[in-house]
Chains A and B, each alone.
Chain A
Amino acid sequence: MAKPKNKYKVPVLDGKISIPKIVPGASAYEHMIEAQKDDMEALGFPFKLQDGWKDKALGVFKEILDHNKAVRDYMDICVRCGACTDKCQFFLGTADPNNMPVQRQELMRKVYRYYFTPSGFFKSLSNAQELTEEVLKEWYTYFWQCSECRRCSLYCPYGIDTAEITMAARQIMDSIGLGQKYTTEVIHKVFKTGNNIGIPPAALRNTLDDLEEEIEEEGGKGVKIPMDVEGAEVLLVPPSADFFAMPHMESLKGYAKVFHKAGISYTVSSYASEAGNFGKFIGSYQNTKEINKRIWDEARRLKVKRVIIGECGHAWRAAYMYSNTMNGPFDFLDSKYKQPTHICDFTLGLVKDGVIKLDPSANDDKVVTFHDSCNVARGSRIGDVVGGQFTIPRELIKAAANKFVELREGTTKESTYCCGAGGGLLTEEVMNVRLAGSMPRMQTVKEAVDNHGVNFYALICAICKTQFTKVFPLYGLDEEMVGGIHQLVSNAIIM
């Protein structure tokens, strides 16, 4: 069998994250597959460009400017200081100047100037550009090479957030029929079956039965994964990958063992069987809200006291940051608890209270490192204190394993690099973009492996897990290294 390695452009791992010389158009040929008719229509979007698309697009643009302070503000205030130019992993990986955050924004800003500012009058001088099909093509290429990780915003003197601009551009493109297959397909599946993967309730129950058996074989007697149980105390909403993908399933086993040992009744839901929220990736307020709503409807129907979200990055941001605004208030839940709670916060609390016991020596064969996922690190908080999203996962890892090392300084916590596949990029057709985007992170992983013998790469994001499982072998690393924090907990928990 031919190695898949040859198909892809795999960056060289020399341990350096260097700033490349710009190569215009270097990734201009990496395109997403366009959305399908039934998916677009299910989301309330037209299919393919229709007559009058330009007016429609400008109408939506205007609507966003009038309803979104971030986009309104950020269109005007960039001074092109260049602070962001060397911060984006997609620029570092592809060398394409349109992947420099400021230049990605410029794709939209030049259209903004043409239609919404007086400088549109001095077209060529001020770089104002009419919205043409050519421009749309550029938008479709480069606004789908951004993972909305917000690393650029961290370094911007005004906090200009390219993710907001990318979302706005995707909103405009969707509204005129120019959608991306992967995200629209996934959202359509959520509406049809309750999860991103399209597992129907009966199949989900089967999977859970298999998992219960596996746990039992591994010595976890009587551990159950209940589904749709009314009156349980906790509604657990993991990303659907936790139900079927490896290594995600190992973490689900971990959650189940924690609930079992703590003696807290819980349930997963076949209706809200997905924590992920791809509506956010395409910047659609309506779709994000609808997807989020399933979780809280289900919490109400199942009469639970609290909602706990599994290991998933953007899902946590959507649940933590958007839920209360979009679907709140949650006065029907127990106000003693944070609604929602992150699974790491929940488990660490139980460990600290002595309700469950972990034996870190069970993971003595592992040297663990931790990758901060962007939506957790820069888009949300875990626990009660500032920076809890950094300390809580690390404390939990240290409680579950003895050997822990940090990745290279300056690439962790809020400065973390994206895995390269967030924001709706986790799809096969842009594998080269994903590889390029993963390059900075992989340099530091390789360094940790070589210098510290790291052999376990702990994550709390389903997309990160899938992405790294895919790219590790291409870089010549073992995909078995990739796993969730609750996989460590699962090994260490004393049953």
Chain B
Amino acid sequence: MAPLNLTTAIYLLFTYTVGLIFVIAVVLRIYQYAVTPQPIKIMLTPAPLTKSGAFARVLGEVFFFKSLFKSNKATWVFGYLFHISFFLLIFMHFLRHFIYANPLPWWYNIFVGIGIVCGIVMVLSLFLLLMRRVVIERVKFISLFQDYLILILLMLIGLAGLSLNYVLTPAALTVVDNQLDPYMNGLLTFQFTNIPSNPVFLIHYTLVMLLILYIPFSKVMHFVGIFFSPTRNMADNPIEERYYRPNAKDLSI
């Protein structure tokens, strides 16, 4: 094993710490939502009559933002574009790890091209979401520091990611790519190698780590909370099937 440099040592420690905090905090949060009893049925009607119907309703919200579509078309378009491009990018980052080989498959550049398009769409949609918060009076009024923070953090991540393709020379990018693959492998197999030392890459990587660290303590937890939302995930069958939670009785008020 090649000797590790100090930067790598720091980043390894940072990455594992962030990963551990993220997993523990998210699991704890899921557990907390799952065990907290819902005293009575409060689904928003008209609601599906069966549990599977109610689950489909939640999926409709998750995949198509159905309620948001009803309430605000512009927010839906910006929000949908952001979420789609964001998830494609996460997926492609993982996928890249499997297809990055020597020699590169002939379609590797198309793959990267799609990623770049997603990156541009993501940054643009984030910019539009940010503009909403600045321009529309009501939205500006309700916006808090943390709402701007997450938008700006995501935009910086996107811009840094795009910079890897546009600021770096192709040769420099190849150096990063060649180092990144074994580094990522090392994270999983504990066969550590040095992290790419390119500053643009390190900025991108650091910001992503900060994002992951911030997620469990932020509104981004909506990706978990939406599955537990009682107005959406309950079936409309209070008469047909008695809904009873004994521990709800503990409510003294």
Contact = CB atoms under 8 A, between A and B. Distances in A.
B251 A67 contact: yes
B150 to A, nearest CB: 9
B242 A161 contact: no
B139 to A, nearest CB: 4
B71 A69 contact: no
B46 A321 contact: no
B75 A81 contact: yes
Interface string A299-323: 0000000000000000000001111
B253 to A, nearest CB: 5
Contacts, number: 218
B2 interface: no
B72 interface: yes
B40 A386 contact: no
A328 B240 CA distance: 12
- Greatest chain B CB density within 10 A among A72, A83, A117, A378 is at A83
A171 B46 CA distance: 27
Interface in A51-79: 60, 63-70, 72-74, 76-79
A63 B36 CA distance: 11
**Interface bracket on B:** 35 or more
A100 B139 CA distance: 10
A387 B68 CA distance: 21
A324 interface: yes
Interface stretch (A151-159, A222-230, A362-370): A151-159
B239 A324 contact: yes
Interface string A149-191: 0100111111111001000000100110000000000000000
B174 to A, nearest CB: 39
Interface string B93-137: 000000000000000000000000000000000000000100011
A82 B229 contact: no
A380 B71 contact: no
Nearest to A167: B42
A156 B79 CA distance: 13
B45 A378 contact: yes
Contact of A67 (B32, B232, B248): B248
B242 A69 contact: no
A378 B44 CA distance: 5
B242 A324 contact: yes
Interface stretch (A2-10, A84-92, A351-359, A480-488): A84-92
Interface string A100-117: 101100100000000001
A68 B39 CA distance: 6
A132 B78 CA distance: 38
B253 A106 contact: no
Interface string B210-247: 00000001010110111011111000101100111101
26 contacts: A63-B251, A67-B37, A67-B248, A72-B36, A77-B222, A77-B225, A78-B222, A79-B147, A80-B219, A81-B75, A84-B71, A100-B142, A119-B146, A127-B145, A153-B44, A155-B71, A156-B67, A157-B61, A158-B222, A158-B229, A158-B232, A161-B42, A339-B239, A386-B46, A389-B45, A414-B44
Given A157-B61, A324-B243, 13 more contacts: A22-B137, A67-B36, A77-B219, A87-B71, A100-B138, A126-B146, A153-B44, A155-B68, A155-B70, A155-B71, A329-B242, A338-B239, A386-B48
